[in-house]
Amino acid sequence: MAKPRKTKEAPKAANPQNAYIEGAGLTVEERITETLRKNFMPYAMSAIVSRALPEIDGFKPSHRKLLYTMYKMGLLSGARTKSANVVGQTMRLNPHGDAAIYETMVRMARGNESLLHPYVDSKGNFGKVYSRDMAYAAPRYTEVKLEAIASELFADIDKETVDFVPNYDNTTTEPTLLPATFPSVLVNANVGIAVSMASNVCPFNLAEVCETTVALIRNPEHDLLSTLRGPDFPTGAFLIWDEEELRRIYETGRGSVKLRAKWNYDKSANCIEVTQIPYSTTVEAIIEKIVELVKVKKISEITNIRDETDITGFKLTIDLKRGIDPDRLMQKLFKLTPLQDSAACNFNILIAGMPKVMGVREILEEWIAFRTECIRRRVYFDLHKKMDKLHLLEGLEKILLDIDKAIKIVRETEEESEVVSNLMIGFGIDAVQAEYVAEIKLRHLNREYILNRTHEIEQLRRDIAEMEEILRDVKKIRKIMVDELKRVAEKYGQPRRTLFLDPTDEPEAAPEDDTPDYPVHLFLSAEGYFKKITPQSLRMSSEQKLKEGDVLTQQFEGTNRTELLFFTDRQQVYKTRAAAFDDTKASVLGDYVPVRLGFDEGERVFSMVPTTDYSGFLLFVFENGKAAKVPLSAYATKTNRKKLANAYGAKSPLVQVLWLSEDSDVLLRSSNNRALLFSTAMLLPKTTRDSQGVQVMTLRAKAKIEYAAAVTPEQLPDLQKYRAKNIPAAGGMARDMEVAGQLTL
């Protein structure tokens, strides 16, 4: 650690009227880690504990402050008020600014449709959760009040069921939690990003959550999946059923579920209408992705796409070309666009101020413990209220014995301050009871009033005994909780919006090739330059541009989907498709294959083999007179590997690679001017790619094979004299001009 620099004491101000600040203008060296600890860590803790993560009641502080403010404003039963009024009042609890408060309100509003059970009844434009670009109106234009279900959040909040703390400037108090009568933490979605951690709680159906909680109270080993079938999202759509993943989410609190859009086909208009989309995406994201796919020609079945969302609800319309199969197109769109998307689950919740990732079972257990304490505190509060009332009525009951005596005591007391003490002495009651009796109006000093009031005493005593029994027995508290959950489910429960889709019910479609298909001409030069030219371009200009000294060695006709195998001089083959290369012209050099496909240093192209179905076989001819017959299917791989080692034998240099669709006649020529014609039917196919082959042509010392070519039926009559009945064979002497002429293809 660097030592702090010694600094001189700052001189005092010359003017005695100027204040002297100790250490002003001095600097002290400090480790960066210490600076971070003192400055960043408090911020990180504040973001985690007081801002970004929800607590067991299902709310972040910003949500809780807003809802509590609306509750105190009387918006639970009153008429709507301007959103600006609520925002202004909320700033007494939330100092983060009006924009942040209003955004919080927007998400909880019914108009935004982001919650299964909105807490804010809204009027006006609040945007939509499924639209990224639909802006919500300013708070001066919209009106709000609390939804009826919000009453379940504030039930008995004034009975000390939760703790209250001072607000940021100590002018009022606010609750630390809301005593929700149902597990709101699981009913409505909640997303938050803190420092180094995040939370993403997906929503579940209210009726299913209440039923599951009741079942868990009665049986801690209850199978959650039997009653809580899966998440239920406000935007609907289909959830692709995956029992294993759901059980993992329920146990660990982490995972993801797949959602698929709901759609139908309008035959009369020849269009697809998407009416529900995954909760995790937006209509703009879907449109942009489809447009992008159309531009790159991965999708060619669509003529137009438009957002037709109106006051009746969401609708995305996709116009199709004539004769298109809508089911097949949608399967393609599900794979390539957010019409099928994944919703992540990360149940990170604050428990007693500590973030904790929990499964659904543990969350419900924590909520049951929290709600148990709320009910206990409520019963304790009511118990003391009834005990206080009973105490007063017991004092009033004693007055019943002699009302005239009470009146006489009051009349004969000279000073007002002594009335209470004289009543205490006269009837044997305490100061609280005497004060209550002394405050009774003169009109109530009759037997009927006193009898009516004291009639409650027996009922109060029974109620107190029952409450004391409840506080002693947690089972009775749990029974109260069960009754409340059943009432909430019956009153506010609604059918599922997100239905299930069993993937096993769908026929497994073969993977479709989206690569555009059109005819092309393929060229390869001796130096390794490759060109893919369309017939139209080749007709306009067929003069090939090449490097000086370079020549074209191979030319094929194929399509854009043709697969290409580039064999190299190092016994390797690189696989790709013609579509991987750009369309070019004859007037350019083309792509340099070793660079384009990432060859090893110094590696060169030996030969190119095009194919569409890996049929036929390859004949490898080596300098030592051997030949290997290998099925082309040996180079087809299911894992789409781009590079295969040991593509052919390495013991002798390779002379030629011939692709043959069926057994044919092949002519070999050696360096000592001998030629041999043989049929490939004499060779057995080899199961291994790097087979060394079998001897076809016997060679004398220092002789080697120089050339090999397949013979066409037109050439065959003139070359019959070189045919071998058996292999290996030495072949016959050939004149240079004769063989060269015969092998010119």
In this prediction, residue 745 carries a pLDDT of: 36
Phi, psi of 32 (to 5 degrees): -65, -35
List the catalytic residue out of 141, 492, 574, 707: 141
648 counts as catalytic = no
Where helices occur in 48-132 by DSSP H, the ranges are 61-72, 83-90, 98-108
Q: Report in angstroms the alpha-carbon separations of 669 from 49, 554, 729.
A: 84, 20, 12
In this prediction, residue 737 carries a pLDDT of: 38
Q: Report in angstroms the alpha-carbon separations of 392 from 278, 427, 432, 433, 456.
A: 61, 13, 7, 5, 11
In this prediction, residue 67 carries a pLDDT of: 97
Q: Where are the beta strands (DSSP E) in 236-390?
A: 238-240, 254-260, 262-266, 271-276, 302-307, 316-320, 340-346, 348-351, 354-357
In this prediction, residue 456 carries a pLDDT of: 84
Q: Please tell me the CATH code under which domain 262-338 is placed.
A: 3.30.1360.40
53-62 per-residue burial string, b: 16 or more CB within 10 A, e: under 16: bbbbbbbbbb
Count CA within 13 A, CB hemisphere, residue 424: 11
In this prediction, residue 387 carries a pLDDT of: 95
In this prediction, residue 493 carries a pLDDT of: 95
In this prediction, residue 607 carries a pLDDT of: 92
Query: Is the separation of the CB atoms in 339 and 28 below 8 Å?
Result: no
Helices 206-218 and 360-399, axial angle in degrees (round to 10): 80
In this prediction, residue 511 carries a pLDDT of: 53
In this prediction, residue 205 carries a pLDDT of: 96
Instruction: Decide: pTM greater than 0.85.
Output: no
* Residues of the chain below pLDDT 50: 1-14, 510, 737, 740-742, 744-745
Q: Is residue 101 helix, strand or coil?
A: helix
Q: Assess whether the region 262-338 and the region 519-742 belong to the same CATH fold.
A: no
Angle, alpha carbons 518-519-523 (nearest 5°): 130
Q: How far is CA 244 from the centre of its chain?
A: 18
In this prediction, residue 7 carries a pLDDT of: 43
Torsion (CA) 566, 567, 572, 574 in degrees, nearest 10: 10
In this prediction, residue 139 carries a pLDDT of: 96
Q: Which fold has domain 519-742?
A: Neuraminidase (2.120.10)
Domain 59-179 of CATH type 3.10.129.10 = no
Angle, alpha carbons 400-406-411 (nearest 5°): 155
In this prediction, residue 513 carries a pLDDT of: 59
**All structural domains of the chain with their residue ranges:** 59-179, 262-338, 519-742
